Every structure is written in C-alpha cells, then in structure tokens.
A and B are shown apart, each in its own frame.
Chain A
Amino acid sequence: MNAISPTLAKMHGRKVTVHYGSKQALFDVDLDVPERMVTALIGPSGCGKSTFLRCLNRMNDVIDGCKVGGEITLDGQDIYDPKLDVVMLRARIGMVFQKPNPFPKSIYDNVAYGPRIHGMAGTKGELDEIVRGSLEKAGLWKEVKERLDQPGTGLSGGQQQRLCIARAIAVSPEVILMDEPCSALDPIATAKIEELIDELRENFTIVIVTHSMQQAARVSQKTAFFHLGQLIEWGDTEQIFTSPKDERTQGYITGRFG
C-alpha cells in the first residue's frame, strides 16, 4: 500500500464501515482521495464502491437504516461530525448520478438551481454568467444556448448527463462524485463525458465509480479495487492495471470474474 502523504490528499477515509440494517456493506475501508486528480473506484457488482462513494457526501443519510462508521475527512475536517452541516458539505462535494436526473425544469433553471439556493449570484447577470460558465465547462453550451428555456428532460441522454454535470459544477464544488455516470449512455456520449472529466480535472477533485475497466484506465490517475465490501488494493492507475499486487485484482482485471 503506497499511501500518499495526507497533506496532498483532499479526502481521507479511515476504517469506513457501512451497515444497511443488519447487513454490513463495507468493511474497514482506508482510502485517500488526492486533490485535482481522478480517482476511479472499480470492482464487481455489489462490491461496495457506490456505497463508499455515497459516504463521501453523506448521501447515505437519505437511506433509512443506513449506518456509517469510521472516519471520513475533507481537508482534515470530519464530515460525519454531528456539528458539521450536511448542506454545507454537499455544496462543497457535488455529485453526478448513474442515471441522468435533470429536474423537470428548464435547462437554465436546472443549472441555476444550485447557485440560487446557495445565494451565489446577486444579480440576474451574475447568475447568467454562472450558468453559461458551467454549461461551457460541461461542454454543453454550444448545443443548448438557443434553448435554455426548454425543459432539461427533453435533451438526449448524453446531453442530460452533461447537464447534470453542469448543474453540479455550477456551485463550484471542490470534489465531484460520479456514480457510473456513463452507464446509461451510448459510446459517443460516453466519449464526450470522458473527455469532459479529463478537462474538469484541472479545477476539481473527482471520484468516479465505474464498471468499465477501460474507462477507469482512460480517465483516472488513481484506481481503487473493491471486492465484497473490502478495499483490496489501490494506487496509481497504471500500476493497478499493469502489475496488480493482489491476485483478486489481477483476476478481475483480466476478466476471470466480475
């Protein structure tokens, strides 16, 4: 395990456990998320990678009967500290979901929603600016600038997902969590999103859960392999894919199971 120095890491997970009711879904996961890099979480279905991802912005709070143990920090601050405000936390850690989930509002309103609730824009002009900037960053501006007032649900799947990314980055989060963002998309749309992720790396710390090992290899700098609720191995993507230390990692990567 080549733990990187804590100062470089944006987020730390230490002995993270998750129980759904009486069923344990994560076992003592230690994982650091380095700043301004893409960390990919891979592993077979039900291995706990999505669960871990949802721990990072406390989305598990929404689920009844879910208990999270251990410690997760953001910039050294415990995000499960009862005093910490989850609303503030989520403003700093954005999330993009597996299935595109635009609100049934206009494209503009979808992106402007976050800035509005967080009071980021004093004037209409500023808000326009944020929306435009976010859509540009998400690579969607050119396609939608003529129809900002049309419903977000009318876009194609790939566009919807980029809209969701634009929505997430509109609040300028420090970290963006992506939960299999391309699983519902065709290869062309997927390629666009991957390209986008690569660009976003400049400004954001990104954690992405993916089923596709090729995708992990393409977009990430760090990769972590989960299996049966445990973190088996993590490190530089290249190293994981070329010379994995654990034979389970090896097996998964070479397609012997999963």
Chain B
Amino acid sequence: MDHARLKRPDLSEARIRGRYAAERRFRFYGQFAVGLAIAMLGVLLFSVCSKGYSAFYRAEIALDIMLDPAVITPDGKSDADTLASADYQGLVKEALKAQFPEVTSRGDRKNLFNLVSNGAGNSVRQAVLADPGLIGSTQRIWVVAADDMDMLAKGFIKRDLPESERVVSDTQIGWYDKLDAAGQLRTAFNAVFLSAGDSREPEQAGILGALMGSIFTMLVTVLLALPLGVMSAIYLEEFAPKNRVTEIIEVNINNLAAVPSIVFGLLGLAVLLGVFGLPRSAPLVGGMVLALMTLPTIIIATRAALKAVPPSIREAAYGIGASPLQVVSHHVLPLATPGIMTGAIIGLARALGESAPLLMIGMVAFIVDVPHWPTDPATVLPVQIYLWADSPERAFIEKTSAGIMVLLAFLISMNAIAIFVRRKFERRW
C-alpha cells in the first residue's frame, strides 16, 4: 500500500532548469509570433506610406502669363460663362513659348508644353475668375507641372540614366533646371488629390470620387443592413420558437457569414443586374450587395449583444406587465445598443474594404465626375486602388499607395469609433 511513497518528485536542479528552459523557449515563441505579426503590419504600412506620401504634394511651375483679353473675352463680353470657358491652356502655352523663345520646332514645342499639366489652365482660370480685373495684365501664376516633371522633382526619375532610358529628355531636364534656378519651381500641397475625381493624368487624379462612392455605398449598406439585421436578430433571439425552421435559419446565417464575398458578387450580377435590371456601376447596387454580405455579421453581433443583457432585466419588465415587444423595445434593445453598434461598425468596415463582389457588378469603371447620388455611376476606394494599380503611368504608383493610405485612414477611424463606443458604453453585468 505504501509503494508510491517510494517515488518522490524529481526536484533536482538540472531537471528544474530544463523545465524552465522549455518555459522560456515557449515564451519566446509567443513573443516571436506576436513580433512577427506586428512586424508584418509594420512592413506593410511602411511600404505603403513610403511609396504613397509623395502623392500628397506636387510640383508646380510659376509662369508669367499674359492674360490676353483677346483670348479670354474674344467678343468683348465678360460674363461668367465666357470667363470660365476661355482657352487658358493656350495662355499657359504662350507663356512657355515666351519663357523659352529659343524653342521653335514643332516637336520641341510639344516637349516644352509637356512640362506643364493638361490641367494647368485651371489655375489660370481660377485666378481670373477670382479677380477679373487682372485681364490684360501679366501675372506670375503657379500652375501644375506634368506628371513626368513631378516624378523628376520627387527624384523618382533618375537623371544618371542614359537619355534613351528615361521618359524625360535631356532638353526637358535642361528647361526644368532653368526654371528651378530661376525660382519658378516649387512643391506644394496637392489639394487636387483630395478634391477631384479620377483622371487619366496622374497629376490631376483625385480620390474624392471614389471616397464619395464609398460613402454612398456605405450609406445604402447601413440603411439596408442595420434595420433588417437588427430586426432579424431580435426575432431570432427573443421571440423565435425553438423548432426546425429557426434552427435552419440560424445555421444558414452562420454559414452566410462565412460565404466568400465573391459569391455575393455573383448573386448581384445574376439577380440584381440580370433579373431586376438595376444600373451597372451604381453605389445603390453595390450597397445592396454589400448589405447582403454584411447582414449575417450584424445579425450575429446583435444576437450576442442581446444575449448579454441579463434575464433579470427581462423578468423585471415582465413582472410589471410589459408585453414581450415592450420588454424588448424598452429595455433589452436600448441596453444592447452599444454592442450592436460596435458589431455593425466592424461589419461595415469590412464591407468598406471589400472589392471582389463589386468587380462583378461593374463598379470598376473610369469615372471622372464625383458622384452626387447613389444612382450616379461611381467606384469605391478599394476598386479605385485596384484600377490605379493597373494604370501604365509611373506616377500612379504613388497615387495607388496614397489611395491605400486614405482608405486605411477611413478604416482606422471607423474602428476607432467602434472602440470608443465599446469603451464608453460597455456595461459589465
């Protein structure tokens, strides 16, 4: 009976040391894993930011522009329409010619004009519209440089390469240096990037169109998914009898939450576009598809939030004679709101970054105009990023990364709101 007594734990130093070494190793693996994950995040963010920060400023060139009345107000009228539609780009070209009178050949002139952006005239237009009194005088106006000059200014085009291997020629670099030496070159904040729609010219391309598209799409998604999801969750959690049907609904919702997003795109393509004939490229349709995708997430989050409300509250309300719906709408739902909101925001953040289903329903399109309504054609931030990644111009690489930065900023602020809501209203029972 006493034989086990013979055995004593081996508490020798060597063995304990071995066990602690294992302990340290294990701990190290853990630290390593966490470090690795965070390092990956760091590398990713760094590679995006280091490529993208330069898109937030741009090169500008100062030109002495003769605001020729013969060009701006050809028929003597100076109403707003005439002023707005004048050929300001032509004035910019004239100014360039005046600055470099030695350039005469057709081909060289074309190269010269390529120093400034196709949209350079806009700056002149703004100046004239702001003060029509300037017409007739010569003004020094900062206009946008072309994307190649922009790349040169930012050092992305290497001067030491042989001329034939560069997109900019030696003569262009010569002009560039001359302008630079004369103080006619600067880099300034790129407001266009945050205020314009897409463009084929990298220096005129902006993220606002996609941003508005994302906002409209999200709006539709919220308006659809939130009420439907919450109501559906209320029924399932509070009222549904436990039977086969509700069980199937439950299993079904859990499954939908894990169905690949692209399948929802196929659904949108076949049903919303195919059967109902809704317009292509519209945030309305995108929002509907994303709402279907987000619905299960919201239902699950809402049910969890409802479940977290202790039964005692319900019993108390029933005790005073409230009807089941009153119990839910007066007590349970208000108490569960913070939880529902956090779940909903997280679901929406996921929808915001989603692009695969939108590819299926024509939201990959070149759209210059900033959309003003959910049925206007639009694209969304992640798809815009995908599109820019596809463009041949080098300058779009920085735009792509900058677009990612905007998207991430948008996402992080949404998540921050979710965390704030959770911290602020979280209740422990």
Contacts and interface: CB of A to CB of B under 8 A. Distances in A.
A and B touch in the complex (CB under 8 A): yes
Interface of A: 85, 87-88, 91-92, 114-115, 117-121, 126, 129-130, 133-134, 136-137, 169-172, 203
Interface string B3-26: 111011111000110010000000
Contacts of A118: 9-11
A121 B9 CA distance: 9
Interface in B8-49: 8-11, 15-16, 19
B9 A91 contact: yes
B3 to A, nearest CB: 6
B181 interface: no
Contacts of A85: 16
Contact of A134 (B4, B9, B15): B4
A203 B7 CA distance: 13
B11 A130 contact: no
Interface of B: 1-5, 7-11, 15-16, 19
Contact of A203 (B5, B10, B11): B5
Contacts of A117: 19
Contacts of B3: 129, 133
Contact of B8 (A114, A126, A137, A172): A172
A172 B19 contact: no
Given A118-B11, A119-B15, A129-B3, 6 more contacts: A91-B11, A117-B19, A120-B9, A120-B10, A129-B4, A137-B1
A120 B15 contact: no
B279 to A, nearest CB: 57
Contact of A130 (B1, B2, B4): B4
Nearest to A129: B3
B7 A130 contact: yes
Nearest to A85: B16
Of all A-B residue pairs in the complex, the 4 with the closest CB atoms, nearest first, are A133-B4, A118-B9, A119-B10, A91-B9
Contacts of B15: 119
B4 A172 contact: yes
A88 B16 CA distance: 8
Nearest to B18: A119
Given A118-B11, A120-B10, A171-B9, A87 B16 contact: yes
Contact of A126 (B1, B7, B9, B16): B7
A151 to B, nearest CB: 23
23 contacts: A85-B16, A87-B16, A87-B19, A88-B16, A91-B9, A114-B9, A118-B11, A119-B9, A119-B10, A120-B10, A126-B7, A129-B3, A129-B4, A133-B1, A133-B4, A136-B1, A137-B1, A172-B4, A172-B7, A172-B8, A172-B9, A203-B2, A203-B5
A210 to B, nearest CB: 26
Contacts of B16: 85, 87-88
A215 to B, nearest CB: 25
B7 A115 contact: yes
Nearest to B19: A87
A129 B4 CA distance: 7
The residue among B2, B10, B15, B19 with the most chain A CB atoms within 10 A of its own CB is B10
A200 to B, nearest CB: 12
Contacts of B8: 120, 172
Contacts of B2: 203
Nearest to A199: B1
A91 B8 CA distance: 9
Nearest to A170: B4
B9 to A, nearest CB: 4
Contacts of A115: 7, 9
The residue among B1, B5, B9, B11 with the most chain A CB atoms within 10 A of its own CB is B9
Contact of B4 (A87, A92, A137): A137
Nearest to A117: B19
B213 to A, nearest CB: 47
Nearest to A173: B9
Nearest to A121: B7
Nearest to A134: B4
B7 A120 contact: yes
A195 to B, nearest CB: 15
A126 B7 CA distance: 9
Contacts of A121: 7
A88 B5 contact: no
B8 to A, nearest CB: 6
Contacts of B9: 91-92, 114-115, 118-120, 171-172
B5 A172 contact: yes
Nearest to B10: A119
A137 B5 CA distance: 11
B339 to A, nearest CB: 25
A170 B7 CA distance: 9
A136 to B, nearest CB: 7
Nearest to A137: B4
The residue among B4, B11, B16 with the most chain A CB atoms within 10 A of its own CB is B4
B148 to A, nearest CB: 61
B22 to A, nearest CB: 10
B347 to A, nearest CB: 32
Contacts of A87: 16, 19
A117 B15 CA distance: 10
A170 B10 CA distance: 13
Contacts of B10: 118-120
Contacts of B1: 133, 136-137
A224 B89 CA distance: 98
A119 B22 CA distance: 14
B125 to A, nearest CB: 66
Contacts of A137: 1, 4
B11 A88 contact: yes
